[in-house]
Protein backbone atom coordinates (compact mmCIF):
# COMPACT_ATOMS: atom_id res chain seq x y z
CA UNK A 1 0.00 0.00 0.00
CA UNK A 2 1.57 3.24 -1.05
CA UNK A 3 0.97 6.09 1.33
CA UNK A 4 0.21 8.62 -1.33
CA UNK A 5 -3.01 6.98 -2.43
CA UNK A 6 -4.42 5.91 0.93
CA UNK A 7 -7.99 7.14 1.21
CA UNK A 8 -11.01 6.46 3.41
CA UNK A 9 -14.29 4.79 2.51
CA UNK A 10 -17.48 3.79 4.28
CA UNK A 11 -17.87 0.15 5.33
CA UNK A 12 -21.35 0.32 3.77
CA UNK A 13 -20.28 1.54 0.35
CA UNK A 14 -21.96 4.96 0.30
CA UNK A 15 -18.83 7.11 0.36
CA UNK A 16 -15.27 6.74 -0.82
CA UNK A 17 -12.17 8.74 -1.60
CA UNK A 18 -12.12 10.85 1.57
CA UNK A 19 -8.87 12.14 3.00
CA UNK A 20 -8.00 11.24 6.59
CA UNK A 21 -8.85 14.75 7.79
CA UNK A 22 -12.26 14.62 6.10
CA UNK A 23 -13.00 11.24 7.70
CA UNK A 24 -11.98 12.57 11.13
CA UNK A 25 -14.19 15.65 10.72
CA UNK A 26 -17.25 13.63 9.75
CA UNK A 27 -16.74 10.80 12.26
CA UNK A 28 -19.51 8.57 10.94
CA UNK A 29 -20.40 8.09 7.27
CA UNK A 30 -23.79 9.33 6.06
CA UNK A 31 -24.86 5.80 5.14
CA UNK A 32 -24.38 4.74 8.77
CA UNK A 33 -21.08 3.00 8.00
CA UNK A 34 -17.65 3.54 9.55
CA UNK A 35 -14.66 4.92 7.68
CA UNK A 36 -11.90 2.47 6.81
CA UNK A 37 -8.57 3.13 5.12
CA UNK A 38 -8.42 1.74 1.58
CA UNK A 39 -5.64 -0.55 2.80
CA UNK A 40 -3.65 -1.13 5.97
CA UNK A 41 -0.14 0.34 5.63
CA UNK A 42 3.00 -1.54 6.71
CA UNK A 43 5.32 -0.31 9.43
CA UNK A 44 8.25 1.26 7.62
CA UNK A 45 10.77 1.35 10.45
CA UNK A 46 12.46 -1.84 11.75
CA UNK A 47 11.19 -2.90 15.17
CA UNK A 48 14.72 -2.72 16.56
CA UNK A 49 14.86 0.95 15.65
CA UNK A 50 11.46 1.61 17.25
CA UNK A 51 12.86 0.18 20.50
CA UNK A 52 14.98 3.31 20.84
CA UNK A 53 12.11 5.75 20.32
CA UNK A 54 10.01 7.77 22.76
CA UNK A 55 6.22 7.44 22.82
CA UNK A 56 5.89 10.65 20.81
CA UNK A 57 8.38 9.46 18.15
CA UNK A 58 6.61 6.10 17.89
CA UNK A 59 3.28 7.91 17.56
CA UNK A 60 4.62 9.89 14.62
CA UNK A 61 5.99 6.80 12.87
CA UNK A 62 2.65 5.00 13.17
CA UNK A 63 0.16 7.81 12.67
CA UNK A 64 1.78 9.34 9.61
CA UNK A 65 1.07 6.09 7.75
CA UNK A 66 -2.69 6.58 8.23
CA UNK A 67 -3.10 10.35 8.34
CA UNK A 68 -1.50 10.95 5.00
CA UNK A 69 -2.95 14.40 4.30
CA UNK A 70 -1.53 15.88 7.52
CA UNK A 71 1.84 17.54 7.04
CA UNK A 72 4.76 16.45 9.19
CA UNK A 73 4.55 19.76 11.01
CA UNK A 74 0.81 19.43 11.68
CA UNK A 75 1.04 15.88 12.93
CA UNK A 76 4.02 16.56 15.17
CA UNK A 77 2.20 19.58 16.61
CA UNK A 78 -0.83 17.37 17.42
CA UNK A 79 1.34 14.69 19.03
CA UNK A 80 3.39 17.17 21.04
CA UNK A 81 0.28 18.93 22.33
CA UNK A 82 -1.46 15.68 23.33
CA UNK A 83 1.24 13.60 24.99
CA UNK A 84 2.69 16.12 27.41
CA UNK A 85 2.51 16.74 31.15
CA UNK A 86 -1.21 15.86 31.12
CA UNK A 87 0.23 12.39 31.56
CA UNK A 88 1.79 11.66 34.94
CA UNK A 89 4.73 9.71 33.47
CA UNK A 90 7.13 10.49 30.64
CA UNK A 91 6.74 6.95 29.39
CA UNK A 92 3.06 7.81 28.70
CA UNK A 93 2.13 4.09 28.64
CA UNK A 94 4.38 2.11 31.01
CA UNK A 95 4.59 -1.69 30.96
CA UNK A 96 4.40 -3.44 34.30
CA UNK A 97 5.21 -7.14 34.78
CA UNK A 98 3.11 -9.06 37.30
CA UNK A 99 2.77 -12.83 37.67
CA UNK A 100 4.26 -13.50 34.24
CA UNK A 101 2.11 -11.10 32.18
CA UNK A 102 2.89 -7.58 30.95
CA UNK A 103 0.27 -5.01 31.94
CA UNK A 104 0.32 -2.06 29.55
CA UNK A 105 -0.89 0.80 31.75
CA UNK A 106 -3.00 3.02 29.54
CA UNK A 107 -4.42 5.09 32.38
CA UNK A 108 -1.81 7.75 33.08
CA UNK A 109 -3.69 10.57 31.31
CA UNK A 110 -5.99 13.23 32.68
CA UNK A 111 -9.09 11.05 33.31
CA UNK A 112 -7.21 7.88 34.36
CA UNK A 113 -8.69 5.54 31.72
CA UNK A 114 -7.33 4.41 28.36
CA UNK A 115 -9.71 6.69 26.45
CA UNK A 116 -7.23 9.49 27.21
CA UNK A 117 -4.72 7.84 24.88
CA UNK A 118 -6.82 8.81 21.86
CA UNK A 119 -8.99 11.61 23.22
CA UNK A 120 -6.07 13.78 24.25
CA UNK A 121 -5.03 13.99 20.59
CA UNK A 122 -8.43 13.94 18.84
CA UNK A 123 -9.24 17.64 19.52
CA UNK A 124 -5.94 18.62 17.87
CA UNK A 125 -6.49 16.27 14.94
CA UNK A 126 -9.99 17.66 14.53
CA UNK A 127 -9.24 21.37 14.79
CA UNK A 128 -6.30 20.87 12.42
CA UNK A 129 -8.67 19.03 10.06
CA UNK A 130 -11.17 21.90 10.27
CA UNK A 131 -8.48 24.39 9.26
CA UNK A 132 -7.23 22.20 6.42
CA UNK A 133 -10.75 21.80 5.04
CA UNK A 134 -11.74 25.47 5.50
CA UNK A 135 -14.60 24.63 7.86
CA UNK A 136 -16.20 27.81 9.23
CA UNK A 137 -19.01 26.14 11.23
CA UNK A 138 -18.71 25.44 14.91
CA UNK A 139 -18.08 21.71 15.41
CA UNK A 140 -20.46 20.00 17.81
CA UNK A 141 -19.10 16.77 19.25
CA UNK A 142 -21.92 14.40 20.19
CA UNK A 143 -20.87 11.47 22.31
CA UNK A 144 -22.55 8.51 23.95
CA UNK A 145 -20.53 7.16 26.83
CA UNK A 146 -20.48 4.06 29.00
CA UNK A 147 -18.56 6.17 31.50
CA UNK A 148 -15.03 6.84 30.34
CA UNK A 149 -15.29 8.28 26.83
CA UNK A 150 -17.50 11.17 27.90
CA UNK A 151 -15.14 12.51 30.52
CA UNK A 152 -12.04 11.95 28.42
CA UNK A 153 -13.65 13.70 25.44
CA UNK A 154 -14.72 16.67 27.56
CA UNK A 155 -11.28 16.92 29.12
CA UNK A 156 -9.87 17.08 25.58
CA UNK A 157 -12.40 19.49 24.07
CA UNK A 158 -13.15 21.78 27.05
CA UNK A 159 -12.72 25.40 25.94
CA UNK A 160 -11.19 24.40 22.58
CA UNK A 161 -12.21 27.34 20.32
CA UNK A 162 -14.65 26.45 17.54
CA UNK A 163 -16.00 23.35 19.30
CA UNK A 164 -18.90 22.35 21.55
CA UNK A 165 -19.27 18.99 23.22
CA UNK A 166 -22.43 17.22 24.41
CA UNK A 167 -22.17 13.93 26.31
CA UNK A 168 -24.95 11.42 26.98
CA UNK A 169 -24.47 8.79 29.67
CA UNK A 170 -26.78 6.10 31.10
CA UNK A 171 -28.18 7.26 34.45
CA UNK A 172 -27.27 4.63 37.04
CA UNK A 173 -25.05 2.78 34.57
CA UNK A 174 -21.67 4.30 35.48
CA UNK A 175 -19.50 4.25 38.61
CA UNK A 176 -19.80 7.02 41.23
CA UNK A 177 -16.38 8.38 40.31
CA UNK A 178 -17.20 8.31 36.60
CA UNK A 179 -20.43 10.23 37.22
CA UNK A 180 -18.75 12.78 39.49
CA UNK A 181 -16.00 13.30 36.93
CA UNK A 182 -18.60 14.12 34.28
CA UNK A 183 -21.06 16.27 36.22
CA UNK A 184 -18.26 18.46 37.62
CA UNK A 185 -16.71 19.07 34.18
CA UNK A 186 -15.66 22.67 33.59
CA UNK A 187 -15.62 24.52 30.29
CA UNK A 188 -18.23 26.84 28.75
CA UNK A 189 -18.61 24.61 25.70
CA UNK A 190 -19.40 21.38 27.60
CA UNK A 191 -22.82 19.81 28.35
CA UNK A 192 -23.68 16.52 30.06
CA UNK A 193 -27.03 14.72 29.87
CA UNK A 194 -28.04 11.63 31.87
CA UNK A 195 -30.44 9.50 29.84
CA UNK A 196 -33.08 7.15 31.20
CA UNK A 197 -31.76 4.06 29.45
CA UNK A 198 -28.59 2.00 29.04
CA UNK A 199 -25.44 2.65 26.99
CA UNK A 200 -26.79 0.94 23.88
CA UNK A 201 -29.81 3.27 24.03
CA UNK A 202 -27.48 6.26 24.29
CA UNK A 203 -25.34 5.05 21.38
CA UNK A 204 -28.34 4.27 19.19
CA UNK A 205 -29.83 7.69 20.01
CA UNK A 206 -26.63 9.48 19.01
CA UNK A 207 -26.38 7.51 15.76
CA UNK A 208 -29.99 8.46 14.99
CA UNK A 209 -29.24 12.17 15.45
CA UNK A 210 -26.28 11.80 13.08
CA UNK A 211 -28.53 10.20 10.47
CA UNK A 212 -31.25 12.89 10.67
CA UNK A 213 -30.74 15.02 7.55
CA UNK A 214 -33.49 17.51 8.55
CA UNK A 215 -31.74 18.15 11.83
CA UNK A 216 -28.41 18.56 10.02
CA UNK A 217 -30.01 21.31 7.91
CA UNK A 218 -31.31 23.10 11.00
CA UNK A 219 -27.84 22.89 12.52
CA UNK A 220 -26.20 24.20 9.37
CA UNK A 221 -28.51 27.24 9.37
CA UNK A 222 -27.09 28.13 12.77
CA UNK A 223 -23.56 27.36 11.55
CA UNK A 224 -23.09 24.14 13.49
CA UNK A 225 -21.97 20.76 12.21
CA UNK A 226 -21.86 17.47 14.07
CA UNK A 227 -18.88 15.22 14.64
CA UNK A 228 -18.19 12.24 16.84
CA UNK A 229 -15.60 11.52 19.49
CA UNK A 230 -16.81 7.95 19.89
CA UNK A 231 -14.47 5.12 19.03
CA UNK A 232 -16.14 4.87 15.63
CA UNK A 233 -14.10 7.95 14.62
CA UNK A 234 -10.98 6.85 12.76
CA UNK A 235 -9.17 9.62 14.67
CA UNK A 236 -9.72 7.54 17.81
CA UNK A 237 -8.60 4.27 16.31
CA UNK A 238 -5.31 5.37 14.76
CA UNK A 239 -3.75 6.79 17.98
CA UNK A 240 -4.62 3.49 19.68
CA UNK A 241 -2.46 1.50 17.27
CA UNK A 242 0.55 3.39 18.61
CA UNK A 243 0.72 1.89 22.09
CA UNK A 244 0.73 -1.70 20.87
CA UNK A 245 3.73 -0.96 18.67
CA UNK A 246 5.31 0.91 21.60
CA UNK A 247 4.67 -2.00 24.01
CA UNK A 248 6.30 -4.45 21.61
CA UNK A 249 9.31 -2.16 21.22
CA UNK A 250 9.61 -1.90 25.03
CA UNK A 251 9.64 -5.70 25.35
CA UNK A 252 12.47 -5.79 22.80
CA UNK A 253 14.30 -3.01 24.56
CA UNK A 254 14.16 -4.64 28.00
CA UNK A 255 15.24 -7.99 26.57
CA UNK A 256 12.00 -9.91 27.28
CA UNK A 257 11.71 -10.82 23.60
CA UNK A 258 13.94 -10.59 20.54
CA UNK A 259 12.99 -8.56 17.48
CA UNK A 260 10.59 -10.72 15.45
CA UNK A 261 9.37 -12.90 18.34
CA UNK A 262 5.60 -13.19 18.60
CA UNK A 263 3.50 -11.86 21.46
CA UNK A 264 -0.16 -12.28 22.37
CA UNK A 265 -2.33 -9.32 23.30
CA UNK A 266 -5.30 -9.46 25.68
CA UNK A 267 -7.84 -6.63 25.64
CA UNK A 268 -10.85 -6.05 27.91
CA UNK A 269 -13.42 -5.31 25.25
CA UNK A 270 -16.63 -3.33 24.94
CA UNK A 271 -17.11 -1.39 21.73
CA UNK A 272 -14.27 -3.34 20.05
CA UNK A 273 -12.15 -0.24 19.37
CA UNK A 274 -9.12 -1.02 21.49
CA UNK A 275 -8.72 -4.61 20.30
CA UNK A 276 -9.30 -3.57 16.69
CA UNK A 277 -6.35 -1.20 17.03
CA UNK A 278 -4.24 -4.17 18.17
CA UNK A 279 -5.43 -6.08 15.10
CA UNK A 280 -4.43 -3.16 12.88
CA UNK A 281 -0.97 -3.28 14.48
CA UNK A 282 -0.73 -6.97 13.60
CA UNK A 283 -1.84 -6.31 10.02
CA UNK A 284 0.86 -3.63 9.80
CA UNK A 285 3.49 -6.25 10.53
CA UNK A 286 3.80 -6.26 14.32
CA UNK A 287 4.59 -9.89 15.31
CA UNK A 288 1.37 -10.73 17.14
CA UNK A 289 0.09 -14.29 17.29
CA UNK A 290 -3.32 -14.03 18.92
CA UNK A 291 -5.69 -11.33 20.12
CA UNK A 292 -7.55 -12.44 23.21
CA UNK A 293 -10.91 -10.67 23.33
CA UNK A 294 -12.04 -10.52 26.96
CA UNK A 295 -15.71 -9.93 27.83
CA UNK A 296 -17.64 -9.63 31.09
CA UNK A 297 -21.11 -11.14 31.62
CA UNK A 298 -22.31 -9.27 28.53
CA UNK A 299 -20.46 -11.90 26.51
CA UNK A 300 -21.94 -11.31 23.08
CA UNK A 301 -18.43 -11.21 21.56
CA UNK A 302 -17.36 -14.45 23.27
CA UNK A 303 -20.40 -16.18 21.79
CA UNK A 304 -19.70 -14.60 18.42
CA UNK A 305 -16.13 -15.89 18.22
CA UNK A 306 -17.25 -19.35 19.34
CA UNK A 307 -20.25 -19.70 17.00
CA UNK A 308 -20.09 -17.13 14.20
CA UNK A 309 -23.48 -15.81 15.33
CA UNK A 310 -23.76 -12.27 16.64
CA UNK A 311 -26.89 -12.10 18.75
CA UNK A 312 -27.71 -9.03 20.83
CA UNK A 313 -31.12 -10.37 21.88
CA UNK A 314 -30.26 -11.03 25.49
CA UNK A 315 -30.50 -9.42 28.89
CA UNK A 316 -28.25 -6.41 29.40
CA UNK A 317 -26.27 -7.05 32.59
CA UNK A 318 -24.91 -4.22 34.75
CA UNK A 319 -21.47 -5.31 35.98
CA UNK A 320 -18.56 -3.88 37.95
CA UNK A 321 -16.80 -3.27 34.61
CA UNK A 322 -19.40 -0.82 33.23
CA UNK A 323 -17.27 0.41 30.32
CA UNK A 324 -17.67 -3.07 28.85
CA UNK A 325 -21.44 -3.31 29.41
CA UNK A 326 -22.29 -3.21 25.72
CA UNK A 327 -24.33 -5.49 23.48
CA UNK A 328 -23.71 -3.75 20.15
CA UNK A 329 -19.97 -3.42 19.64
CA UNK A 330 -19.80 -0.75 16.95
CA UNK A 331 -16.23 -1.28 15.84
CA UNK A 332 -16.82 -4.95 15.13
CA UNK A 333 -18.34 -3.69 11.87
CA UNK A 334 -14.82 -2.86 10.70
CA UNK A 335 -13.65 -6.43 11.30
CA UNK A 336 -16.77 -7.80 9.60
CA UNK A 337 -16.06 -5.56 6.62
CA UNK A 338 -12.43 -6.75 6.43
CA UNK A 339 -13.47 -10.38 6.75
CA UNK A 340 -15.84 -10.06 3.77
CA UNK A 341 -12.76 -9.06 1.75
CA UNK A 342 -13.92 -5.40 1.92
CA UNK A 343 -17.29 -6.19 0.31
CA UNK A 344 -19.36 -3.20 1.47
CA UNK A 345 -22.61 -4.69 0.14
CA UNK A 346 -22.17 -7.90 2.14
CA UNK A 347 -21.28 -5.91 5.26
CA UNK A 348 -24.27 -3.61 4.84
CA UNK A 349 -26.62 -6.58 4.50
CA UNK A 350 -25.36 -8.04 7.80
CA UNK A 351 -25.67 -4.70 9.62
CA UNK A 352 -29.20 -4.23 8.29
CA UNK A 353 -30.03 -7.70 9.50
CA UNK A 354 -28.69 -6.80 12.95
CA UNK A 355 -30.86 -3.68 13.04
CA UNK A 356 -33.93 -5.59 11.80
CA UNK A 357 -33.68 -8.88 13.70
CA UNK A 358 -31.09 -8.30 16.44
CA UNK A 359 -28.73 -10.96 15.08
CA UNK A 360 -26.67 -12.13 12.11
CA UNK A 361 -24.46 -15.06 11.18
CA UNK A 362 -21.19 -14.84 9.28
CA UNK A 363 -19.95 -17.37 6.71
CA UNK A 364 -17.26 -19.99 7.40
CA UNK A 365 -14.94 -18.13 5.06
CA UNK A 366 -15.39 -14.97 7.11
CA UNK A 367 -14.79 -16.87 10.33
CA UNK A 368 -11.56 -18.26 8.93
CA UNK A 369 -10.41 -14.68 8.33
CA UNK A 370 -11.05 -13.89 12.01
CA UNK A 371 -8.90 -16.76 13.27
CA UNK A 372 -6.51 -14.30 14.95
CA UNK A 373 -9.13 -13.70 17.66
CA UNK A 374 -9.80 -15.88 20.69
CA UNK A 375 -12.86 -15.02 22.75
CA UNK A 376 -13.02 -15.46 26.53
CA UNK A 377 -15.07 -14.04 29.37
CA UNK A 378 -15.04 -13.63 33.13
CA UNK A 379 -18.06 -13.62 35.45
CA UNK A 380 -18.35 -11.11 38.29
CA UNK A 381 -17.12 -13.68 40.81
CA UNK A 382 -14.17 -14.74 38.62
CA UNK A 383 -13.19 -11.11 38.07
CA UNK A 384 -13.25 -10.35 41.80
CA UNK A 385 -11.25 -13.48 42.55
CA UNK A 386 -8.64 -12.55 39.93
CA UNK A 387 -8.17 -9.01 41.31
CA UNK A 388 -7.68 -10.48 44.79
CA UNK A 389 -5.41 -13.30 43.60
CA UNK A 390 -3.07 -10.93 41.77
CA UNK A 391 -3.05 -8.45 44.65
CA UNK A 392 -2.30 -11.16 47.25
CA UNK A 393 0.39 -12.77 45.12
CA UNK A 394 2.19 -9.69 43.79
CA UNK A 395 0.85 -6.59 45.57
CA UNK A 396 -0.24 -5.19 42.19
CA UNK A 397 -3.84 -3.93 42.24
CA UNK A 398 -5.70 -3.75 38.91
CA UNK A 399 -9.08 -2.26 38.07
CA UNK A 400 -12.24 -4.23 37.28
CA UNK A 401 -11.84 -4.04 33.49
CA UNK A 402 -8.22 -5.14 33.58
CA UNK A 403 -9.39 -7.87 35.99
CA UNK A 404 -11.62 -9.31 33.28
CA UNK A 405 -8.70 -9.37 30.85
CA UNK A 406 -6.29 -10.84 33.37
CA UNK A 407 -8.76 -13.59 34.25
CA UNK A 408 -9.37 -14.43 30.58
CA UNK A 409 -5.62 -14.53 29.94
CA UNK A 410 -5.05 -17.06 32.73
CA UNK A 411 -8.02 -19.14 31.52
CA UNK A 412 -6.50 -19.13 28.04
CA UNK A 413 -3.11 -20.33 29.32
CA UNK A 414 -4.78 -23.06 31.40
CA UNK A 415 -6.83 -24.20 28.40
CA UNK A 416 -4.11 -24.08 25.73
CA UNK A 417 -0.73 -24.22 27.49
CA UNK A 418 0.36 -21.34 25.22
CA UNK A 419 3.00 -19.34 27.12
CA UNK A 420 3.75 -16.75 24.43
CA UNK A 421 4.71 -13.49 26.22
CA UNK A 422 1.48 -11.57 26.63
CA UNK A 423 0.62 -7.89 26.86
CA UNK A 424 -2.59 -7.17 28.77
CA UNK A 425 -4.18 -3.81 28.05
CA UNK A 426 -4.74 -2.25 31.48
CA UNK A 427 -7.51 0.17 30.67
CA UNK A 428 -8.26 2.03 33.89
CA UNK A 429 -6.70 3.05 37.16
CA UNK A 430 -8.11 1.06 40.08
CA UNK A 431 -8.98 4.45 41.59
CA UNK A 432 -11.66 4.93 38.98
CA UNK A 433 -13.50 1.85 40.27
CA UNK A 434 -12.30 1.98 43.87
CA UNK A 435 -15.54 0.65 45.37
CA UNK A 436 -15.56 -2.57 43.35
CA UNK A 437 -11.78 -2.96 43.52
CA UNK A 438 -11.68 -2.68 47.31
CA UNK A 439 -14.66 -5.02 47.56
CA UNK A 440 -12.58 -7.60 45.68
CA UNK A 441 -9.41 -7.01 47.69
CA UNK A 442 -10.81 -6.44 51.19
CA UNK A 443 -14.46 -7.58 51.17
CA UNK A 444 -17.85 -5.86 50.78
CA UNK A 445 -17.69 -2.07 51.17
CA UNK A 446 -21.45 -1.58 51.61
CA UNK A 447 -22.38 2.08 51.16
CA UNK A 448 -19.18 3.49 52.61
CA UNK A 449 -18.12 6.92 51.46
CA UNK A 450 -16.28 6.68 48.13
CA UNK A 451 -13.42 8.87 49.29
CA UNK A 452 -12.88 6.87 52.49
CA UNK A 453 -12.51 3.80 50.25
CA UNK A 454 -10.10 5.72 48.04
CA UNK A 455 -7.88 6.55 51.01
CA UNK A 456 -7.84 2.88 51.93
CA UNK A 457 -6.99 1.83 48.38
CA UNK A 458 -4.06 4.19 48.59
CA UNK A 459 -2.79 2.38 51.67
CA UNK A 460 -3.38 -1.06 50.17
CA UNK A 461 -1.71 -0.35 46.82
CA UNK A 462 1.01 2.11 47.81
CA UNK A 463 0.14 4.06 44.64
CA UNK A 464 -0.44 7.80 45.08
CA UNK A 465 -4.00 9.05 44.57
CA UNK A 466 -4.13 10.51 41.04
CA UNK A 467 -4.77 14.19 40.44
CA UNK A 468 -7.98 13.30 38.57
CA UNK A 469 -9.48 11.88 41.78
CA UNK A 470 -8.28 14.64 44.12
CA UNK A 471 -9.79 17.22 41.75
CA UNK A 472 -13.35 15.95 42.17
CA UNK A 473 -13.29 15.44 45.93
CA UNK A 474 -14.82 18.88 46.54
CA UNK A 475 -15.71 20.10 43.04
CA UNK A 476 -19.16 21.69 42.54
CA UNK A 477 -21.72 19.87 40.36
CA UNK A 478 -22.26 21.84 37.16
CA UNK A 479 -24.43 19.49 35.05
CA UNK A 480 -27.86 18.24 36.14
CA UNK A 481 -29.72 17.70 32.86
CA UNK A 482 -31.59 14.42 32.27
CA UNK A 483 -33.75 13.19 29.38
CA UNK A 484 -35.58 10.20 27.93
CA UNK A 485 -34.13 8.16 25.11
CA UNK A 486 -36.59 9.57 22.57
CA UNK A 487 -35.94 13.23 23.45
CA UNK A 488 -32.16 13.26 22.98
CA UNK A 489 -32.44 15.34 19.81
CA UNK A 490 -34.57 17.93 21.64
CA UNK A 491 -31.91 18.10 24.35
CA UNK A 492 -29.26 18.86 21.73
CA UNK A 493 -31.47 21.54 20.16
CA UNK A 494 -32.04 23.14 23.54
CA UNK A 495 -28.36 23.12 24.52
CA UNK A 496 -27.37 24.71 21.22
CA UNK A 497 -30.24 27.19 21.34
CA UNK A 498 -31.72 26.12 17.95
List of residues contacting ligand PLP (CB under 6 A): 113-115, 148, 231, 268-274, 323-324, 401, 427-428
Q: Are 404 and 268 in contact (CB under 8 A)?
A: yes
The minimum distance between CB 165 and ligand PLP, in angstroms, equals 17
Q: Are 251 and 421 in contact (CB under 8 A)?
A: yes
The minimum distance between CB 289 and ligand PLP, in angstroms, equals 20
The minimum distance between CB 115 and ligand PLP, in angstroms, equals 5
Distance CA 241, CA 128 (A): 20
Residue 80 or residue 176: which is nearer to ligand PLP going by CB? Answer: 176
Residue 13 or residue 403: which is nearer to ligand PLP going by CB? Answer: 403
Residue 25 or residue 404: which is nearer to ligand PLP going by CB? Answer: 404
Q: Per DSSP, which regions of 241-367 are E strands?
A: 263-268, 288-295, 309-311, 359-361
Residue 110 or residue 128: which is nearer to ligand PLP going by CB? Answer: 110
The minimum distance between CB 189 and ligand PLP, in angstroms, equals 23
The minimum distance between CB 219 and ligand PLP, in angstroms, equals 27
Residue 37 or residue 273: which is nearer to ligand PLP going by CB? Answer: 273
Sequence-ordered alpha helix ranges (H) in 308-445: 332-339, 344-357, 364-369, 380-394, 400-416, 434-442
Give Cβ neighbours of residue 7 (< 8 Å, ≥ 6 apart): 16, 17, 18, 19, 37, 38
Residue 47 or residue 118: which is nearer to ligand PLP going by CB? Answer: 118
H/E segment holding residue 128: helix 122-132
Q: Is 376 helix (H, G, I), strand (E, B) or coil?
A: strand
The minimum distance between CB 86 and ligand PLP, in angstroms, equals 17
The minimum distance between CB 331 and ligand PLP, in angstroms, equals 7
Q: Is 191 helix (H, G, I), strand (E, B) or coil?
A: strand
Q: Are 254 and 221 in contact (CB under 8 A)?
A: no
Residue 68 or residue 295: which is nearer to ligand PLP going by CB? Answer: 295
H/E segment holding residue 470: helix 467-472
Amino acid sequence: MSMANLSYQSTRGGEKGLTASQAILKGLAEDGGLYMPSGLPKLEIPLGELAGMSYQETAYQVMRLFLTDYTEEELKYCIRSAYDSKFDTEEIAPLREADGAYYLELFHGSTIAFKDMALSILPYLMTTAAKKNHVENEIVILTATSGDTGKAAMAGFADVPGTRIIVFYPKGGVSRIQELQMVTQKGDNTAVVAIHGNFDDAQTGVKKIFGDQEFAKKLAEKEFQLSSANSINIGRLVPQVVYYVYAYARLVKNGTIREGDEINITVPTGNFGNILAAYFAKQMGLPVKLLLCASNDNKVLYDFFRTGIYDKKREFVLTSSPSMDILVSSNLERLIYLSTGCDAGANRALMEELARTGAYQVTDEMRARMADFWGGYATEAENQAEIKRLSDKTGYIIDTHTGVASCVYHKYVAETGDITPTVIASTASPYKFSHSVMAAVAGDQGDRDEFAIIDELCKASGVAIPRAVEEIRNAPIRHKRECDVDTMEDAVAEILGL
